Structure 1
Amino acid sequence: MIEKLFNMLRKVKWNVVYKYQLYRYSIILKRKQKKKCFNIVFFATFASTWKYDYLYNILVKDRRFNVTIIVCPVINYGYDYMIEEMDRCYILFKTKGYNVIKSYNKEEEKYLDVKKICRPDIVFYTNPYKGLIDDRYYITNFLDCLTCYAPYCFRESAILDELEYNQLLHNLLWIHFYETNSHVKLSYEKSDIKGKNVILTGYSGIDRLIDKSYIPIDPWKKKERNIKRIIWAPHHTVGENQPMNYSNFPLYAEFMQCMAMKYEKNIQMAFKPHPLLKEKLYKLPNWGKEKTDLYYQSWNKMSNGMLCESDYIDLFLTSDAMIHDSGSFLIEYIYVNKPVQRIISNFEARNDFNSIGKKCFDIHYLAQQKADVEAFILNVINGVDPLKEKRTLLLKEELMPPNGILASENIYNYLCKQLKIESRR
Structure 2
Amino acid sequence: MHMTKAMYEVTKPILRRIPLLRKVRSLFDERRNRAVERNILADQGRVRERIARQRSANEKTKIYFVFTQSQLWGLQAFYDLLWESEDFDPYVVVMPNTEDSSTPHRVSLAKNLAEFGRLGVRIISGATDDGTIASCTTIITDGSIVFVDQPHPGLPGDWSYEQLSKRSLICYVPYGFKVANAHDGHFNQLLHNIAWRVFCETDWHKAQFAKYGKRDAANIVVSGYPKFDEYRRSDKTAGLDPKVVGALEAGKKIVIWAPHWSVQDDYLGYSTFDRYYRDFQRLAASRPELMWIFRPHQRLRYHLEEIGFLPAIEIEKYYEWWCHQDNTACSTESNYINMFRASSAMITDSGSFLAEYLPSAKPVLVLRSKGSVGYNELGEAIIASYHHADTAEGIERFVSDVVLNGNDALIAQRNGLSRLIFNQEIESSSRILISELRSSLSSSEVRCSRWL
- Give your verdict on TM over 0.5: yes
Aligned mates of 1:8, 1:291 — CA distance in 2: 43
Cα distance 1:111–1:259, how it changes in 2: closer, same or farther (>3 A)?
closer
Dislocated runs of 4+, deviation >4 Å: 7-14, 16-24
| C-alpha distance in 2 between matches for 1:337 and 1:220 | 24
How far residue 296 of structure 1 moved from its aligned partner, in angstroms, is 0.8
Among candidates 189, 193, 215, match of residue 236 of structure 2: 215
The answer on 1:204 being equivalent to 2:246 is no
Q: Does 1:391 align with 2:414?
A: yes
- Show the 5 A alignment for 1:270-285: 270-285=293-308
- Equivalent in the alignment of 2:44: 25
Q: For residues 369 and 332 of structure 1, do their structure 2 counterparts lie closer, same or farther at Cα, with a shift above 3 Å needed?
A: same
Q: Displacement, 1:199? A: 0.7
1:139 Cα deviation (Å)?
A: 1.4
Structure 1 residues 230 and 400, CA gap change in structure 2 (3 angstroms): same
Among residues 338, 357, 364, which one is paired with 2:362 in the alignment? 338
User: Contact (CA 8 Å) 2:323, 2:330: kept in 1 or not?
Assistant: yes
Q: Distance in 2 between matches of 1:147 and 1:286?
A: 38
- Give the distance between the partners of 2:133 and 2:106, measured in 1 at CA: 13
Counterpart-to-counterpart distance in 1, 2:107 and 2:267? 26
Name the counterpart of 1:292.
Answer: 315
Distance 1:212 1:39, change over 3 A: closer
Distance in 2 (CA, whole Å) between partners of 1:260 and 1:195 is: 46
Residue 320 of structure 1 is matched in structure 2 by 344
Residue among 415, 422, 425 paired with 2:437: 415
1:234 is the counterpart of 2:259: yes
Alpha-carbon spacing, 1:13–1:401, altered in 2? closer, same or farther (3 Å) = farther
How far off its partner does 1:253 sit?
0.6
Counterpart residue number, 1:353? 375
Report the secondary structure of 1:417's partner residue: helix
Q: Give the direction of change, closer, same or farther, for the CA distance of 1:84–1:194 in structure 2 (3 Å limit).
A: farther
> CA separation of 1:187/1:213 partners in 2, compared to 1, >3 Å: closer, same or farther?
same
Q: How does 1:13-52 map to 2 (within 5 A)?
A: 24-35=43-54, 36=58, 37-52=60-75
1:141 matched residue in structure 2 = 163
Tell me the distance in 1 between the aligned counterparts of 2:68 and 2:307: 25
Q: For 1:43-192, what aligned pairs fall within 5 Å after superposition?
A: 43-78=66-101, 80-107=103-130, 110-119=132-141, 121-129=144-152, 132-144=154-166, 145-158=168-181, 160-192=182-214
| Distance in structure 2 (CA, Å) of the matches to 1:105 and 1:273 | 29
Q: 1:322 to 1:18 in 2, by over 3 A?
A: same
Q: Quick check: 1:310 aligned with 2:329? A: no
Kept in 2, the 8 Å contact 1:180–1:202? The answer is yes
**TM-aligned CA distance change 1:363 to 1:55, over 3 Å:** same
CA contact (8 A) 1:322 1:340 kept: yes
- Partner SS, residue 404 of structure 1: coil
1: distance between equivalents of 2:65 and 2:352? 22
In structure 2, distance between residues paired with 1:389 and 1:95: 38
What pairs up with 1:368-383 in 2 under 5 angstroms? 368-378=390-400, 379-383=402-406
Residues 249-278 of structure 1: CA deviation (Å, up to 9, x unaligned): 01111111111111112x110111111111
Retained in 2: the 8 A contact 1:73–1:133?
no
| Coordinate RMSD, CA, aligned | 2.7
| Identity across matched positions, percent | 24
TM-superposed CA distance for 1:113, in Å, is: 3.8
Letter in 2 for 1:122: I
| Cα distance in 1 for residues equivalent to 2:394 and 2:286 | 15
* Aligned residue type for 2:49: K
Residues 369-411 of structure 1 show CA distances to partners (whole Å, capped at 9, x for unaligned) of 1121111111211222211111111111x20269811111111
Q: In structure 2, do the counterparts of structure 1 residues 394 and 92 end up closer, same or farther at CA, with 3 Å as the change threshold?
A: same
Q: TM-score, normalised by structure 1?
A: 0.88
> How far did 1:118 drift?
4.4
Write the letter of the residue equivalent to 2:193.
N
Would you say the 8 A contact 1:154–1:203 is kept in 2? yes
1:356–1:116: structure 2 CA closer, same or farther, 3 Å change rule?
same
Give the distance between the partners of 2:351 and 2:341, measured in 1 at CA: 19
Amino acid of the residue matched to residue 389 of structure 1?
A: A
Q: Deviation string for 1:309-363 (max 9, x for gaps)?
A: 22322211211110000111111111211111111135x96x7111111111111
Rate the CA distance shift 1:81–1:332 in 2: closer, same or farther, 3 A.
farther
Contact 1:202–1:401 (8 Å) recurs in 2: no
**How many matched pairs?**
407
Give the whole-Å Cα distance in 1 for the aligned partners of 2:70 and 2:340. 17
Inter-partner Cα distance in structure 2 for 1:13 and 1:269? 46
User: Matched residues in 1 for 2:229 and 2:421: separation?
Assistant: 12
What one-letter code is carried by the residue in structure 2 that aligns with 1:213? S
Tell me the distance in 1 between the aligned counterparts of 2:424 and 2:173. Answer: 15
**Alpha-carbon deviations, 1:162-197, whole Å to 9, x = none?**
322222222111000000111111111212223221
- Amino acid corresponding to residue 58 of structure 1 in structure 2: L
Q: Distance in 2 between matches of 1:13 and 1:41?
A: 24
CA shift, 1:100, in A, is: 0.2
Is the deviation greater in 267-276 or in 217-226? Answer: 217-226
Change (3 A) 1:42 1:278: same
Matched residue type, 2:53: K
- Kept in 2, the 8 Å contact 1:219–1:314? The answer is no
Residue identity opposite 1:321 in structure 2: A
Tell me, which stretches of 5 or more residues in structure 2 are unaligned? Answer: 1-7, 9-26, 444-452
Q: CA deviation at 1:283?
A: 3.2
Q: Is the 8 A contact 2:33 2:190 kept in 1?
A: no
